[in-house]
Structures are given as C-alpha cells and as structure tokens.
Structure 1
C-alpha cells in the first residue's frame, strides 16, 4: 500500500456502494484507517440492507483497517456518534469524506413536499451534521495543542453548479453544499482544516436510468483526487470545487462579482431594464442547465 495517508483516520459516508465505496477502498490503499458508513438505502431512499461489511472485508483483505458504521448521517446525534466511533476505534479523526445521498427526480410542477424534504435532508443536512461534529472535535484538539492536519472533502454535482432539469431538490441541495464548502473552508482554516468539494461524474446507480452512462467514467476514477485532497500534501488547497470527469479535472470558478452599473442615488424602475441588459450583454454566457 502507498504511504500517502499512512496513519490517518478517515470517515467516508455512503461508502457501501458506488463512488463512496471506491473512495473508502482508495483511502485504505494509501494507508488510511477507514470508518465505512452506510445507512443502507435504495437509490430513492428506501431502506435496504447495507453492504458496508463487504467493503470492510475488502479493506481488511488488502491488509488495511476498517470498521462498519450504520449511522443516518442526517441525524444529528447519530452523526456525532459516528465521529466518536472513529476517535474511539482509531484514536482520532483526520479525514471526512461526505458522500452519502440519494435522488427523487421530479419536474418542479410534480415535485412533492416529502420528496423535497427527503433529498434536502440527506444531502444538505447529511453534509452539515458530520462536518459540524468533526469541526468541533478538531477545534477542541487545536485548543489543547494537538492540532490535527484535517481534511474535508464534500460532494457536490454538476446539477448543483449548473442545474439539472427534473432535479430541482437535488440541484438545490448540491448548490448548497458548494457554498457550505466555501464557508467551512474560511472558518476552519485557523484550526488546520482544509475543506474542498468534488463534483464527480461516474456511472452509478444514481446516474443509470437518468442519463446515457455508456461513456461515463467508473466510480473509482474519482477517488485518486479524493486521496490526494485528504493528504497532508494538500494543505495549500482549500475552498475549491473540482469537477472530475474521467481523466479530466476542472477547477470550477463559481459565483464572482461581474460588471457593475451605478446609479446616482436610488435606481428608478424605468432605468433598470436598459442598465441590466447592458450588463448581461457584457457578461459571459452561463453554462446551460443540464437537460435544457
């Protein structure tokens, strides 16, 4: 095994299948001890058996160390217990990879409140709760003079960056994760934590049926980037969103202040149209919404 992550302790959420499983295996190959979290749900969030034990067995077969965790990552107390499990089992926590999620695709006019709440909960709160408890641990360690070289890798999506037809809740949640990443990076840098997000493109059970996946990358094609971001080498990279599409890395630029127009005092409603249209004409054309 590589020594890139030797001695480091990681949590990977949603690690029973797909991209999360690939991340857990890749981190273990580089020497990390891994808490393999998987609540056990279907693609649309219905409860099923979790394959987390199988992932742990794969890690142990390669000579690594891992443990199963079955927390619902969007449950605040269960997320806290998951962080504590890493600390109690392996003596600390250095890496948090937030990956868990599911989809309930629906056009806006047909979306239900329950579908919206479920998707926002698992993605957005499911990133917040583990990050909140991990951050509290890292701050406490820093105050005690034991500052850890900690890394967070969140999971956004092209749907959250450009939007995706038929995925209003998923797009909103993933956009929120991208912004959460920026805020967490700014707040946690003082205690030795970097926070980045990836937007992975891969053939998984979430994409199959929604898109033509015949030419898509495999889940494991995303994981080497996660392993590097989780390493001590990556200390100068934080607050970034990186799209991974097979062999291509794209550094996303996100929201930024563009051209501005200034009125003399309060804008008159009749003057806004011409001023705003001039700014739109000067601005780059936004990337199209997926599926538009």
Structure 2
C-alpha cells in the first residue's frame, strides 16, 4: 500500500484561505434551503432524494442538453487535476469520476487502487453501475460501490488517500458536516477535490447565464424529462450555494490547508482543492 498521497496542484488559482466566518452559524438553523424554499432540516434529504430518483434515468442526457456537452469537458479537467498515480484508496462521493479516471487515466492508476464510489441515492448508484458496465468496467475490482451519506461516512479515520466530489456537495443538508467527514477519512497528505456549479460575476455574461438558467433549463427538464420542478430546484440550488470565496473559507475551516480554486467558463463551475496536513 502507498504512503500518504503526494500532492501536486496543477493549474489551480493559488489563493490562501482563512476562515471568514463560523460556518456552523451559516447552516445550523432549524430550517435550511431547498432551492429558494425554506424547509425543515430533516426534510431536505428526502426532497433531494426525490429529485435524484426522478432525474437518475435521464441524468447524462439532461447534463448534455443543459451544458451543451461541456459537463464532460469539466469532468475530464477535474479528473486530470488529481494525482491518480500516487493514490491507492480514493473516496468518490457522488459517482461518475472514478469511472472516468479508469477510462482516461488507465496507465496512471495503479492496479491495486480502490475507488469507493459513494452515493446516498440507490437509483443514482444503479445508473452508475450500469454506465460502468456499458463502458467495460462492470467487473473492475477497482470500483467499490457503497450507498452512504456524505455527512456520515462509513469509513475509518485516516483511511483514504484522496476524496473527490463532483456536482454533489451543494445538495447536502450541512455542507460543513460533509467537509468535516472528508477531512476525517483522509490520511495526512490526502487531497480533497471538489467540482461544483458556482457563481458568475461578469456583468453581461451573468445576465445571459441567469436568463438561460431560469427561463430555459426548467423548460428543457419539462420537455425532455417531464420534470420541471427538479430542474427548477437545480438552478435555485446553485444560486443558494456559497460563492467561491465563501466555500473556500469553509474548506479551510474544516481543517484543510493550501485551499485554492479555479473557475471554469467564467465561474459557471469551479474546482476547489485542499490538503490535509
């Protein structure tokens, strides 16, 4: 087995983050956001679960339509930002990245590597397994499928060389709990890497992006998937997610150091990175 993951940050903007506020006060209330709605904390997991149960079968198609196929490029960029050749136990919270790593980074992924694909939604796990089988990874022992909650991971302390999460952390009820769990399960020297839809600040581009998000995406969801509400939630959840700077400070507050981020497409998505020392 490998020693702690050696860390190389490739092309991410170098920002030093310190905690800007107490993230517990940001999220520990009796209610939380579900898009623009305020719901009881205990209700959010069920509502988000309903969304992903609804969208699971059309997940890849809708992502292609909504992003013009660019989500595939974002995920490839994300995959290539990680040092797969020196990580032997990797936790992937929300499935999709590990399969791409085995496909695109096959020569760099050691044979003994295990990628634990963890998702709270059984329907999304089923779709992930099906996609893996279609791409020839159905019998690959490197992929270990686990149904689990990012806020309460079923893994031991200091057991993972790396942690990746793509387009998932904005859907948890308590972001700070998911970050604390990521920090807990990582070994010293382990790297946290997060790909998430984020905030556009360029004035003209922001106006166009907002129009597309609120006026087009829900219509696509209704026409293609027969589900306008889930895609309305998607758009609203992005707007309620912390800005790049605030999310960076939350990662730092969880204990990570060398926290950085890189905007893609003007901030439509961002890759955040941190190291556990």
Q: TM-score, normalised by structure 1?
A: 0.40
Q: TM-score, normalised by structure 2?
A: 0.42
Query: Of the two, which has the highest radius of gyration?
Result: 1
Greater relative CO (CA pairs within 8 A, separation 6+):
2
Q: Which is strand-richer, 1 or 2? A: 2
